[in-house]
Amino acid sequence: MRYILFDLDGTLTDSKEGILKSAQYALEKLGIQPPPLAEMNWVVGPPIRQSFAERYGLSPEDALKGLRFYQERFGQVGYLENRVYKGVPEMLDELKRSGCRMAVATSKPAYYAQRILQHFGLDGYFDYVSGSEMDGTNGKKPQVIARALKELAAQIEKTAMVGDRSYDMKGAREFGVYAVGAGYGYGEPGELHGAGAEIIAASPAELTEILRRERK
């Protein structure tokens, strides 16, 4: 592949702890009893504001309040409750040295995505970071993919979208790019295949080999 778009959470970093604890904090501030962490996988993937609205039937105004509460905690400590998956730096280094142009395509606000990449020393691998605005707008996966494709001036037949959730695979299929699943992330059993993944990697090392090859 010549152009590669990566999801962030569950693909490059294991960020679930910070996301879920910040979501619990936000729900409590809204007066909603949050479920246990083990039952909150629905938070990871789509925009937080969208998740709150759909899950609890919140008005747009209350969903925005929830997002702001989430950001109160996430911006202080949540983004640091995170770790880079083993093998990811080596993967990015190899792909960069082989001439790939890479971007992050995440529903997370671009501001936070950039802070996380900088914190872990990964920012230098990426030509562009495509994420949502701080108020959660422009964060649906097709929107962030579209911006990344435009910024990279990517050729569709030479582009891969890598992610761990159905939103990533559906977004890839919408644009006709190679839908590559990160099977080590947060997807439920069968989720990636069901959403149209063309191939699934069990580890960043396996992902490296897949991305170095041409699309089958």
CATH number, domain containing residue 69: 1.10.150.240
Note if 7 is an active site residue: yes
Domain boundary residue among 56, 80, 104?
A: 80
User: Under 8 Å CB-to-CB from 195, ≥6 apart: which residues?
Assistant: 165, 166, 167, 168, 169, 170, 173, 179
Domain, as residue range, for 108:
3-14+82-212
Please tell me which residue in 7, 9, 14, 164 is annotated as part of the active site. Answer: 7
Last residue of some domain: 80, 113, 128?
A: 80
Please count the structural domains in the chain. 2
Cβ–Cβ under 8 Å, residues 117 and 64? no
Whether the pTM exceeds 0.75: the reply is yes
Model confidence pLDDT, tens digit, residues 140-154: 999 999 999 999 999
CB atoms inside a 10 Å sphere around CB 174: 15
**What pLDDT digit, counting tens, does each position of 76-107 carry?**
999 999 999 999 999 999 999 999 999 999 99
For residue 202, give both structure tokens.
């069990």
